[in-house]
Structure 1
Amino acid sequence: MKFHLVPCERTMQQGKVVTETSPLLQNPSIGQATQAIARKAISFEERLIEAEIDTGEIEDTFSWRKLWKYTGPGLLMSIAYLDPGNLEADLQSGAVAGYSLLWLLLTAHIAGQLIQCLSVRLGVVTGKHLAQLIRQYYPRPVSIAFWLITEIAIIGADIQEIVGTAIALKIIFRIPLWVGTLLTAMDTFTFITLQSYGVRKLEALFAVLIGTMAICFWIEMFMSNPDVGEIIKGTLIPVVPRKAFIEAVAIIGAFIMPHNLYLHSSLVMTRRTNNASNSKIKEANFYFSLESGIALFFSYLINMAIVTVFAEVFYSPSEDKPLPGLYDAADVLTNTLGSASRYLWALGLLAAGSSSTITGTLTGQYVIEGFFGKIFKKPWHRLLITRSIALVPSMFVAVFSVNDFDNMGEILNVLQSLCLPTALIPLMKLTSSKSVMGKNFKTNNFWKYISWIIASVIIGTNLILFLEQLNKMRNSFLGYMCGGIYFIFIIYIIFLPIKVTRDPLKIDSISN
């Protein structure tokens, strides 16, 4: 069997051909080798993320040792389901509806697992992450619009994370909130230090932080003496109390973050699965999806604990009370569970804010270099500039809004949900494309329809959240005008076909 490979222009660097050949070239027994080689051949210039972890040879049976090698990206991804914005949505859900919305919390995590699996498959199969593929398969003006909206989403998430961390620091150390917002910038330096020790050290830190949240919030749940029967009922019976409609919509809008889809498709490339056989790609998809499911299961347990606590200590079906925010929650817990619960809440909130700030730093790097290429020669240049783009405006807004964060948090949740379609729609279109994913790995029709149904529900709830927020504005005309333009853009990208581009290597001919 002979292969004649013709490199395209993107594989030329300074007059030299830069290529990576697939193991399929040496394995004629694997079917559809032509398609696999064309899909998996990637130039060094496009490979922005170092594959640090060797996942070993393919194994025919399930292996815990193999799962451990793939474990890590899901941990970092799950932080987006545990950031301060989500914690606030949890506590207000329990405070308004008691246990009634636990079923919706579970549904949101299941839907999130499906979306995250699409993100995993995109990164594993193509060897590129979502930002790189949008740059390649969408018109340049559209991809620039995607980047701007993604940066807005990152800034919005950063504000919640910064203020959440500042609130935790105030509860523990009684320092002013504006000082706490400035101190959160130190997380960037923590990230610089950890990056030099490799991805495994970073993943270990996140395992510790998630474990801290789980311990703190579950201790509080047991302290509140919850009704197990009500937990089961709220998880299995879908009910939305009339006065909790906005909180129900907020749960859907707050859990799947747009920038998290970019992050997850990037993180899987830290494992050496690129330029692999079909069997290796299937193995990677399986273990990454399993690891994501486990991470989101623990995320659900943590979020469930918070809903349960405030269903017990605050919810009153016959009384309307002002909803607590992240800071007020500590006082509510102190009055009902004692002073120790105050510090457990603050420690868990601190872990959530710190971890999500670090993932925001990582996401910013991937997004910038994905949309614009490898434009930074030195790592510290990349970190400083990409982090500053999001961190500087975030710090500015956080400092001036920190004392009115409950209202700001609601607006930021709406902002996140509005930005989500611009990441979700390209993800679904790319993973459903044969030219991007190949015949064997593109999303089949059943899961494609399921994912579009989920996307439709999310976009619909986003619209409800947006209209609800507009009704609170003094001058809603500008909001309606901007919102109308944005939703027209969403409809446009739904029907916009992705462009067909040449693969990095073109199979000229195959002969036996």
Structure 2
Amino acid sequence: MPKNQSTGALRGLWLLGPALVAGVAYLDPGNVASNMTAGAQYGYLLVWVVVAGNVTAWLIQYLSAKLGVVTGQSLPELLGSRLRNRWARRSYWLQAELVAMATDLAEVIGGAVALNLLFGIPLLLGGVITGTVSMLVLAVHSRRGPRHFEFVIIGLMAIITVGFVAGVFIAPPDPAAVAGGLLPRFDGTGSVLLAASILGATIMPHAIYAHSSLARDRFGSASHGTPAEQERTETSRIRRLLTATRWDVTIAMIIAGSVNLGILLLAAANLAGVEGTDSLEGAHAALEAGLGPVVATFFAVGLLASGLASTSVGAYAGAEIMHGLLHVRIPLLARRLVTLIPALVILGVGVDPTLALVLSQVVLSFGIPFALIPLVALTAQRRTLGVWTNRTWTTVAGIVASVLLVLLNGALLVLVLTGS
């Protein structure tokens, strides 16, 4: 490869990262629980839901990153400047804050459960350890900058991938059954509930908020010279960044989608009909009984890395939500400490971890439209993105995705609250 092409390739690789960090949200303990339960209870039936959710996630995360790259602002910042009424802005912040706290709850619980499975550590102490380690990860962002933070999160993502996918290679699924699972269909109310849970755990509001912030942090404007030169330089820079962003999102979604699909296939091939797999502890026990302690340990290690990585990104997203909507900037570590308290209280009073995970997904369902609809609307506005505004088909796809996700999350709420 010629030197200039080699240099260009390395420069392109250096632009990757924000989507991989945001993509950790697609590998949190809520995803693990939903996909494991779906595979154990319905076999390969809901393979198509994981695939459809991942394709939808690509579009949503790309739009979020594009917003940050082009405007140099995050979605919360843009909303904070557009919502003129102080009470409207505060109300919007409150729902986003509750969603961020619910996300954090699931992730801390996932880390605590993993520590309990691996070392027998009590859940409350496991929650404290998970929170402490996540504070160390956030300290990397505060002291060393976004690039080093990305390296840590990407390293944890690698551990997550190995932990959750290893079992698929040891006990592979039936290829014909996997192909059959690509046909969209349901099998009763329970499968609809699980499908909504999978999508609710996949398309998460805080990932939408976070990705625009991560792109903003990495790609600040660097134009110099005369106004005409600045315009030409900025146009070229944004075009290059958006190309890199598409690759970044594609790689992140391939990894996240493969891991989520791997979890479902592992359960479908080896845990179908096994009792107790609707909880993380039960799934771990079933894996140990069916495939041995090595696969079960890999699963627990992946769950721990999932909890640590996703709770760190969740705390980052929460801080950005507060800064953008309330115009208040508090240190990431202080933010981490405050949002850790609800999770520790729930673990301390002995609430069933699986129930807490389910309830957290219900709260997340409320937040989807508040993040998704403004994202599609802003990226379709010429006054916001100028020449980089969405093409017509992109906006149509975003609207269709928004409608379907809102309807499915509404179905999840109805089914959970009515006990159907």
Q: Which of the numbers 364, 376, 382 marks the counterpart of 1:416? A: 364
More helix by share: 2
Counterpart residue number, 2:184: 238
**AA in 2 matched with 1:269:** R
3-state SS of the aligned residue for 2:45? Answer: coil
Whether 1:157 aligns to 2:103 is yes
Residues 330 and 341, structure 1, Cα contact 8 Å, conserved in 2: no
Residues 91 and 306, structure 1, Cα contact 8 Å, conserved in 2: yes
Instruction: State the Cα distance separating 1:192 from its structure 2 match.
Output: 4.4
Between 339-348 and 133-142, report the one with greater CA deviation. 133-142
Instruction: State the Cα distance separating 1:112 from its structure 2 match.
Output: 0.6
Instruction: State the Cα distance separating 1:355 from its structure 2 match.
Output: 0.3
Counterpart residue number, 1:297: 254
Instruction: State the Cα distance separating 1:136 from its structure 2 match.
Output: 0.8
Whether 1:103 aligns to 2:51 is no
Whether 1:72 aligns to 2:17 is yes
Q: Distance in 1 between matches of 2:218 and 2:172?
A: 43
Structure 2 unaligned regions, length at least 5: 224-232
Q: Which of the numbers 392, 395, 406 marks the counterpart of 2:354? A: 406
Going from structure 1 to structure 2, the CA distance change for 1:60 and 1:122 (only over 3 Å counts) comes to farther
Counterpart residue number, 2:228: none
Going from structure 1 to structure 2, the CA distance change for 1:290 and 1:62 (only over 3 Å counts) comes to farther
Whether 1:217 aligns to 2:164 is yes
Structure 1 unaligned regions, length at least 5: 1-58, 474-512
Q: Distance in 2 between matches of 1:139 and 1:400?
A: 41
Going from structure 1 to structure 2, the CA distance change for 1:383 and 1:416 (only over 3 Å counts) comes to same
Residues 137 and 152, structure 2, Cα contact 8 Å, conserved in 1: no
**AA in 1 matched with 2:324:** G
Counterpart residue number, 1:228: 175
Whether 1:464 aligns to 2:411 is yes
Counterpart residue number, 1:84: 29
Instruction: State the Cα distance separating 1:401 from its structure 2 match.
Output: 4.7
Going from structure 1 to structure 2, the CA distance change for 1:100 and 1:268 (only over 3 Å counts) comes to same
Q: Deviations over 1:201-241 (max 9, x none)?
A: 2212122211112212222112223212222332x322322
Q: Distance in 2 between matches of 1:400 and 1:290?
A: 45
Q: Distance in 2 between matches of 1:432 and 1:410?
A: 34
Q: Distance in 2 between matches of 1:138 and 1:447?
A: 25
Q: Please report the TM-score for the alignment, with normalisation by the length of structure 2.
A: 0.91
Instruction: State the Cα distance separating 1:292 from its structure 2 match.
Output: 0.9
Counterpart residue number, 2:402: 455
3-state SS of the aligned residue for 1:239? Answer: coil
Residues 120 and 289, structure 1, Cα contact 8 Å, conserved in 2: no
Residues 112 and 125, structure 2, Cα contact 8 Å, conserved in 1: yes
Counterpart residue number, 2:346: 397
Whether 1:189 aligns to 2:146 is no
Counterpart residue number, 1:10: none
Q: Distance in 2 between matches of 1:389 and 1:287?
A: 35
Between 127-136 and 390-399, report the one with greater CA deviation. 390-399
**AA in 2 matched with 1:435:** R
Counterpart residue number, 2:229: none
Residues 104 and 238, structure 1, Cα contact 8 Å, conserved in 2: yes
Instruction: State the Cα distance separating 1:92 from its structure 2 match.
Output: 0.6
CA RMSD of aligned residues (A): 2.1
**AA in 2 matched with 1:85:** G
Q: Which of the numbers 77, 90, 101 marks the counterpart of 1:132? A: 77
Q: Please report the TM-score for the alignment, with normalisation by the length of structure 1.
A: 0.75
3-state SS of the aligned residue for 2:121? Answer: coil
Q: Distance in 1 between matches of 2:112 and 2:252?
A: 26
Going from structure 1 to structure 2, the CA distance change for 1:412 and 1:62 (only over 3 Å counts) comes to farther
Percent of aligned positions that are identical: 28
Instruction: State the Cα distance separating 1:312 from its structure 2 match.
Output: 1.5
Residues 414 and 466, structure 1, Cα contact 8 Å, conserved in 2: yes
Q: Deviations over 1:5-43 (max 9, x none)?
A: xxxxxxxxxxxxxxxxxxxxxxxxxxxxxxxxxxxxxxx
Whether 1:266 aligns to 2:213 is yes
